Chains A and B, each alone.
Chain A
């Protein structure tokens, strides 16, 4: 390949090319910054582009490489979702509340990737405080889907998915509370990995719903996801909910064939509500896996249809408390000339938060209120256990669980934004994994009406090696993940 094709290469390919001296990190970084300059505005995928810092980091990476020192990601560019705190760089979380907030510290994810040599190109646009499934709740405007600029790239990690799909970056970080990595990956023909809850540190990741939030990546391939996860994963003493569990070599485990892999197909995920063409693409993908030696069995998960209502009690409850710190007192948006303390609080928060965030804060406040706690929050926690039990039971029979990532391909911007319930149902297949704390991945598996479709694979706790390997083997057999939207080749 020539330097002109660098943007088309996967992270793994780029790592090889850098290692062999085919090009430098500065050349690569400059090429991608040029693409961001050319396409960033039409996609609105970035809130901040850190061009100068990126070039400096690339220079350092090249110097290190010349000295023979190199981290696994040395000189490789990537983008961070704007929910990760980045020292000295604007960190907005897609909100007016943090429009001018420059973080004084780096998130653990940012720190680990940077120490491995990764070069940050910028911060990607997202739904405000990660609350949304279309990227339309961002204070900085919706991100466009490179497959059709009138459509949503999914959300909340929409800037990450769009920028990876449009070949503006080989990889981007994301966060997934109910599907915010996997659904945008499905809608943009990219690969999106949400690890096991506790696998990756949440320190420095602005909290939406603490018991569900998990950091992950959006990439061009499962192999790239494996490469990044190896760097990001691991215990962090600054996050009590991160788990001290050994980090395997995810890349090394990819080679094993699908022979004998038991794949559970969730009965309930092919019910009405699933777009027919999407369903067909997913069924074909499962047939490919079967032809590769996987054994398909149907699994019954009767409580899974309770996952959306359960999620929309638990997540708002936690967010209503997590977002209380945005009060206009110490950082973030502050109303001008407040009359008194109450006025300062009310106006700072009214002005700083958008409609969806307010809706969830109010819902969460309600379900935690005296007299409603038992009926809503406590009940939801109980149902959450039932859902987790469903998965546990299923994993006694199968190695991975498969189905569609999203019920429909990318929808038009404006279509669902005024109908929250319909919007919430976009995550109907992904939310279960968050409630149960399980790892999940979405891989491109075909098209419906010329729009990408995602295959969703869920593994047991710390089952990242299984789902990454299944996804990788599938990607060896298919080329959906290499398809590039027109105009971005």
Chain B
């Protein structure tokens, strides 16, 4: 990017934990309900109410800690972060400060040169989410929706080990995959279940000391993070190269203008007066518990990717794509299990036509209209030469539209490949007869015209003729 400057990025990822009820109350965490219908007295911070820890969040945090090779703290403490805001009913947020539940983790990404790179995870701590302030459509008033209040969050803080926006995205994707594999978060970025703040600074290459950083708030899509971080890097370099100084501040990314802007500086002076929450006991986790949780860990993305390459002999980058989500990986494995063709063929179909169809309709693999067994049935028909690869695309589309299994579609649409030599010969003769000019040219040496003849035969047979046989018979006839 810029030879003179080195970029330093650290990410704070807030991932919403997929519990049925809130972190300190029994209210539901379901998304999208009518405002203020999922906030009980505890969430509303009524006088006299007390928080009670949802043990499920501890289990989830513990899972995450083990998945990133971190230390799960034998004793962690909830602390109060004090500040006034209308969507923060108690006037403090219950979080973890000095003693977080997870510390000293790591994961590995591919750096800009494709080499494996370790990224440190400083800590991950549990906290409650705040509510939402709503300003639109309320005629100069503000509304408050407290449904989200008390939703459990795991805040995952990386070391400042990331050196480009691309690395930041790779790290974030990895965390995203891990929390989804673990089943501790749905990772839904549109609903805010997975969002990120980025600390960005630059320093002259070779300098050890970090430059002054800015914090970019609430980046809720991979694309925005990349754009925001890149914008911010350019901005800081410009400031420094013009002899200025970077101001430590919080900046918001405006996706409409593709720029970052400082937030009101009033918030900057906040002293959160953290202190241990006297309403909650320390969270104590024993070795037995940790081992019990360890046993429930699923195979994680890295291990699965390596296994796919070694067991299925598929391409490295295909394995990476197939293991982005556990559901996609499971789907792929189910296709392989039910199929007769090589796993690479299954991989091509899952990554190609299947993913295309999913993207087009915006649905997840779990909701695919073609089951893994269905797709395997289609691939098997290519493998046994019942249909060609090209016809298979048509069959797939029909299957997607609900016309039945591959066999049913082939049968109903009469797509079975023509492999009867005499039938193909008859069609070839007909084509040769109808195109004397092209035949003469071919025979005069313009052999590229073979494509034209193949095309004509395919057109005549609706694409059903076996392409290998068509080629063979055409050449024999034309060259005789």
Seen from chain A, the residues whose Cβ lies within 8 Å of a Cβ on chain B are: 84-85, 91, 93, 98, 101, 103-105, 107, 202-207, 209-211, 237-241, 317-318, 320-321, 323-327, 329-332, 341, 345, 365, 368-370, 373, 377
Contact = CB atoms under 8 A, between A and B. Distances in A.
Nearest to A98: B47
Given A321-B80, A324-B82, A240 B52 contact: yes
Contacts of B271: 369-370
A84 B86 CA distance: 26
6 contacts: A203-B48, A238-B52, A325-B47, A325-B89, A329-B144, A365-B273
Contacts of A329: 86, 89, 144
Contact of A321 (B50, B86, B275): B275
Given A84-B48, A241-B279, 5 more contacts: A207-B48, A211-B278, A321-B82, A327-B91, A330-B44
Contacts of A321: 80, 82, 91-92, 273, 275
Nearest to B273: A368
A240 B283 CA distance: 11
Nearest to A129: B47
* Max count, chain B CB within 10 A of own CB: residue among A204, A238, A240, A345: A240
Contacts of B46: 103-105, 325, 331
Given A105-B41, A327-B84, A368-B82, A85 B281 contact: no
B84 A205 contact: no
Contacts of B48: 84-85, 103, 107, 203-207
Q: Does more than half of chain A's interface fall in helix, strand or loop, or is it mixed?
A: loop
Contacts of A330: 44-45, 89
Given A241-B278, A318-B278, A345-B84, A325 B50 contact: no
Please report whether the interface of chain B is mostly helix, strand, loop or mixed according to DSSP.
loop
A330 to B, nearest CB: 6
A257 to B, nearest CB: 39
A203 B92 contact: no
A79 to B, nearest CB: 18
Interface in B234-282: 271, 273-275, 278-281
A312 B47 CA distance: 22
A330 B40 CA distance: 13
A336 to B, nearest CB: 16
B348 to A, nearest CB: 55
B91 A324 contact: yes
Interface in B56-104: 80, 82, 84, 86, 89-92
B41 A325 contact: no
A410 B364 CA distance: 74
A324 B275 contact: no
B49 interface: yes
Contact of A240 (B45, B51, B90, B91): B51
Range class of the B interface residue count? 20 to 34
B278 A85 contact: no
A210 B90 CA distance: 14
B30 to A, nearest CB: 22
B309 interface: no
Name the residue in A211, A320, A327, A370 with the highest tally of chain B Cβ atoms < 10 Å from its Cβ: A327
A325 B86 contact: no
B281 A369 contact: no
Nearest to A366: B273
A41 B2 CA distance: 81
A325 B273 contact: no
A326 B279 CA distance: 18
Contacts of B357: none
B53 interface: yes
A202 B50 contact: yes
B273 A203 contact: no
Given A321-B275, A327-B84, A365-B273, A85 B91 contact: no
B86 A240 contact: no
Interface in B158-209: none
- Which of B44, B47, B49, B278: most chain A CB closer than 10 A? B47
Q: Which 9 A-B pairs have CB atoms at the shortest separation, nearest pair first?
A: A324-B91, A368-B273, A211-B278, A210-B278, A325-B45, A204-B48, A206-B47, A85-B48, A370-B271
Nearest to A342: B84
B275 A240 contact: no
B52 A237 contact: yes
B90 A324 contact: yes
A331 B47 contact: yes
Contact of B49 (A84, A203, A326, A365): A203
Contacts of A85: 47-48
Contacts of A240: 50-53, 279-281
Contacts of A203: 48-50
Contacts of B44: 330
Contacts of B49: 203-204
A370 B269 CA distance: 11
A292 B57 CA distance: 56
Interface in B103-151: 144
A199 to B, nearest CB: 16
Given A240-B53, A241-B278, A241-B281, A324 B47 contact: no
Contacts of B278: 209-211, 241, 318
A244 to B, nearest CB: 12
A324 B347 CA distance: 57
A181 B52 CA distance: 27
A135 to B, nearest CB: 20
A91 B281 CA distance: 28
Interface string B404-444: 00000000000000000000000000000000000000000
A203 B49 CA distance: 6
A205 B47 CA distance: 8
Interface in B2-58: 41, 44-53
Given A93-B47, A105-B41, A210-B278, A325 B52 contact: no
A385 to B, nearest CB: 14
Given A321-B92, A327-B91, A103 B47 contact: yes
Contacts of A365: 273
Contact of A317 (B53, B92, B144, B275): B275
Contacts of B280: 240-241
A163 to B, nearest CB: 22
A303 to B, nearest CB: 21
Contacts of B91: 321, 323-325, 327
Nearest to B275: A368
Contacts of B84: 324, 327, 345
Nearest to B144: A329
A104 B41 contact: yes
Interface string B340-354: 000000000000000
A308 B76 CA distance: 30
Contacts of B144: 329
Nearest to B52: A240
Contacts of B86: 327, 329, 341
Most buried by A among B271, B278, B279: B278
Nearest to A211: B278
Contacts of B274: 368
Contacts of A84: 48
Nearest to A332: B47
A377 B275 contact: yes
A239 B53 CA distance: 10
Contacts of A325: 45-47, 89-91
A91 B47 contact: yes
A41 to B, nearest CB: 27
Contacts of A320: 82, 273
Contacts of B52: 237-240
A107 to B, nearest CB: 6
Nearest to A85: B48
B7 to A, nearest CB: 30
A205 B48 CA distance: 5
